[in-house]
């Protein structure tokens, strides 16, 4: 269908706040504003995810086997759940004792020597020329080194920023499927995409059977590749650490691997695949590609998102050397204390000193509106437009620029054209990039203020998810988007609770930066603007419509069958609720199709009209229409006229 509306029919993933599907992570962010029953549900489900308890029927057991009621779980584990989620001190490794080496140079005096013994089997294959080696009787050798020599000696070091947004304490993705030494970010890609697919409430096989194989698209990436031991991190460190590389580190390290893993191991898809990166705006880059293809009719279903495991010593040190991270020392200076407040390390639009690194995986499932109506899909929102613009000439590649003025203002103008001025002026809010750097708080607030002035918007709510979960790099705007879906569900805009006041250099004449959660149930939100900035001039802004606003639009387009759709949607919601119940008990049902039978290439048949692939309900059909037919006709007429002119009398 031309001008198809890309609908969000499923979403999932994991961040420092918990699981995205069924809004578990969002509820953790606004926990104190929830009714007691919702708080209980959130605490108990997170306790399961964090392996503090396991569910048995209507009861739970702790790690010692003691039977507990939900109220018991809440009373015993609430503080552990609170302490083990959101931004906190790094737990993945000891940030105060990072293994490292120091290069030392010994004397240049030729008459001075260094002598030591070592096992003969540990000798380098090519010993230094200055070494004199003498065999000893016990399998050791005596080494005498003369002249100048350089050595690496073990020398642990300390990170200057020890806070991070990590997955909840005790939650290890590899425990939920046979991870086979996958890098952490690829583990996260699998569990995030699986969560999104299950959240639909429609079996994937049914979705796949409803469309041609090439009408499915996967759009995913990790901007920094896989930098843990099993990926590029281990590859680049191996020789310097005296170990060897493996056959898996190069292929698993590629930044396109999240898309490849989702295609091969989650969906078994032979459809379109695309791995785009745009620094910290990467999620919106893959979102734009999916929206583009669904609107054009090239794709009818898209699974898109990112996975990034960026909390590593090397990445942390790299950003710290750019003065981009909020260091412990500077946090202490802000608070006039000797102890850094790691829980409040990320402080968007307040007095701040740098961003807080984090890890996350976020995926959403998009469908065109016709297919969603046909399948009875539940609709969580819609993304009609995503705009991306560069900064032009830059003095510093990491500095903010003018591109975001274009992307953001175009998004607001587009939203007004789609849903009207009233919805945008009175019922919209902004999910800012909000990185927590001094440069971001001034530049982003200024551009939002200018856009508000241009479109005559006042008291515009602006929130920032990074205050809760940190900066997950490629996944960051995915964190923002799923949080916005939570606002549509619970009619609550999360406050920026890590700050006590807005910094004086933040523009706020027409903007409202809430320090506590805002209840918007009296004036429900129709639109959210998801804004993102990335190093290098990667600016993107998405328009996100609420499910209520989308339902109004679909009721007009599909008036003749909308009631039938609503009936079918009830079945979908019931199925999705069943998965949510299992997932709340940490029964994640991770989809990992490794070892399943491969497609029999001998069974593939190709004709002039299309391709048949064994195991797929529909064939790939060639598009036989010529989009340049008018150009060919014009050329043919011109050629005929030329021929007539050339005919002799």
Domain locations in the chain? 101-154, 181-549, 603-649
Average pLDDT over residues 109-118: 79
| pLDDT at residue number 3 | 87
What pTM does this model have? 0.94
Q: What stretches of 76-166 adopt beta strand conformation (E)?
A: 87-89, 101-105, 113-119, 131-135, 140-146, 150-154, 163-165
Residue 109 pLDDT greater than 90, yes or no: no
Give the range among 280-289, 511-520, 593-602 with minimum mean pLDDT: 593-602
* 3-class secondary structure per residue, 24-55: HHHHHHCHHHCCHHHHHHHHHHHHHHCCCEEE
* 3-class secondary structure per residue, 394-430: CCCCCCCCCHHHHHHHHHHHHHHHHHCHHHHHHCEEE
Residue 520 pLDDT greater than 90, yes or no: yes
β-bridge pairing 150-154 and 67-68: unpaired
| pLDDT at residue number 462 | 98
pLDDT bracket for residue 624 (50, 70, 90): confident
Residue 645 pLDDT greater than 70, yes or no: no
pLDDT bracket for residue 372 (50, 70, 90): very high
pLDDT bracket for residue 445 (50, 70, 90): very high
| pLDDT at residue number 240 | 78
Residue 1 pLDDT greater than 50, yes or no: no
Please say whether the beta carbons of 60 and 70 come within 8 A: yes
Helix (H, G, I), strand (E, B) or coil at 538: strand
| Sole residue written with tokens 């990926």 | 231
Q: Which residue has the higher pLDDT, 147 or 512?
A: 512
**Nearest partner of 485 among 419, 544, 542, judged by Cα:** 544
Average pLDDT over residues 326-332: 97
| pLDDT at residue number 215 | 98
| Sole residue written with tokens 């005596």 | 142
Say how far apart CA 415 and CA 408 lie, in whole Å.
Answer: 11
Q: pLDDT tens-digit profile of 596-607?
A: 999 999 999 999
Q: Which residue has the higher pLDDT, 595 or 499?
A: 499
Residue 52 pLDDT greater than 60, yes or no: yes
pLDDT bracket for residue 244 (50, 70, 90): confident
Q: Which residue has the higher pLDDT, 324 or 399?
A: 324
| pLDDT at residue number 110 | 60
Q: Tally the residues of the chain.
A: 649
Average pLDDT over residues 137-142: 91
Say how far apart CA 124 and CA 134 lie, in whole Å.
Answer: 14
Whether domain 181-549 has CATH 3.40.50.2300: the reply is no
Would you please indicate which residues are annotated as catalytic (active-site) residues?
280, 433, 471
Say how far apart CA 262 and CA 270 lie, in whole Å.
Answer: 11
Tell me the β-bridge partners of 454. none
């Amino acid at each position: 269908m031309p001008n198809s509306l890309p609908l969000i029919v499923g979403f999932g993933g994991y961040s420092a706040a918990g699981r995205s599907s069924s809004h578990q992570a969002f509820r953790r962010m606004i926990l104190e504003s929830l009714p007691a029953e919702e708080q209980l549900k959130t605490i108990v489900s997170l306790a399961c995810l964090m392996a503090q308890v396991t569910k048995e029927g209507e009861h739970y057991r702790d790690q010692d086997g003691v039977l507990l009621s939900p109220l018991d779980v809440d009373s015993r584990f609430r503080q552990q759940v609170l302490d083990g989620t959101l931004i906190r001190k790094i737990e993945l490794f000891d940030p105060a004792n990072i293994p490292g080496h120091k290069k030392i140079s010994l004397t240049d005096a030729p008459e001075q020597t260094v002598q030591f013994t070592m096992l003969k089997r540990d000798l380098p294959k090519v010993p230094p020329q200055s070494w004199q080696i003498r065999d000893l009787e016990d399998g050791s050798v005596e080494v005498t080194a003369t002249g100048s020599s350089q050595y690496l000696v073990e020398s642990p070091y300390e990170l200057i920023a020890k806070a991070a947004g990590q997955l909840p304490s005790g939650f290890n993705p590899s425990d939920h499927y046979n991870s086979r030494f996958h890098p952490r970010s690829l583990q996260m890609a699998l569990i995030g995409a699986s969560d999104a697919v299950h959240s639909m409430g429609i079996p994937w096989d049914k979705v796949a059977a409803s469309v041609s194989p090439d009408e499915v698209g996967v759009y995913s990436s990790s901007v920094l590749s896989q930098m843990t031991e099993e990926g590029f991190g281990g590859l680049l460190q191996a020789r310097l650490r005296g170990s060897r590389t493996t056959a898996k580190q190069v292929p698993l390290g590629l930044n396109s691997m999240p898309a490849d893993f989702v295609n091969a191991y989650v969906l078994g898809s032979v459809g379109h695949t695309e791995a785009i990166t745009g620094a910290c705006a990467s999620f919106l880059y893959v979102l734009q590609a999916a929206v583009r293809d669904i609107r054009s009719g090239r794709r009818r279903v898209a699974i898109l998102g990112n996975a990034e495991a960026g909390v590593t010593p090397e990445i942390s040190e790299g950003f710290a050397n750019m003065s981009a991270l909020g260091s412990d020392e500077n946090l202490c200076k802000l608070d006039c204390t000797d102890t850094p407040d790691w829980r409040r390390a990320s402080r968007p639009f307040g007095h701040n000193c740098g961003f807080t690194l984090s890890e996350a995986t976020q995926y959403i499932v998009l469908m065109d509106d016709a297919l969603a109506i046909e399948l009875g899909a539940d609709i969580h929102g819609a993304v009609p437009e995503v705009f991306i613009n560069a900064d032009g000439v830059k003095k510093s590649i990491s500095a903010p620029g003018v591109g975001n003025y274009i992307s953001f203002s175009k998004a607001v103008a587009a939203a007004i054209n789609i849903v009207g001025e009233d919805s945008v002026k009175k019922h919209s809010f902004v999910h800012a990039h909000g990185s927590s750097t001094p440069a971001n708080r001034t530049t982003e607030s200024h551009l939002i203020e200018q856009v508000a002035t241009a479109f005559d918007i006042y008291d515009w709510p602006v929130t920032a998810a990074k205050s809760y979960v940190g900066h997950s790099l490629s996944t960051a705007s995915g964190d923002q988007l799923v949080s916005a879906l939570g606002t549509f569900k619970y009619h609550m805009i999360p406050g920026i609770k890590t700050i006590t006041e807005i910094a004086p250099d933040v523009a706020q004449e027409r903007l409202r930066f809430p320090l506590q959660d805002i209840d918007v149930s009296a004036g429900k939100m129709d639109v959210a603007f998801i804004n993102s900035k990335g190093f290098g001039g990667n600016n993107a802004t998405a328009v996100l419509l609420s499910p209520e606003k989308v339902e109004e639009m679909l009721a007009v387009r599909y008036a003749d069958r909308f009631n039938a759709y609503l009936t079918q949607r009830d079945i979908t919601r019931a199925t999705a609720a069943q998965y949510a119940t299992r997932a709340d008990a940490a029964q994640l049902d991770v989809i990992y199709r490794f070892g399943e039978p491969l497609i029999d290439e001998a069974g593939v048949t190709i004709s002039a009209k299309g391709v048949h692939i064994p195991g797929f309900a529909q064939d790939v059909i060639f598009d036989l229409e010529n989009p340049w037919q008018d150009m060919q006709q014009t050329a043919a007429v011109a050629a005929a006229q030329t021929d007539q002119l050339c005919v002799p009398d």
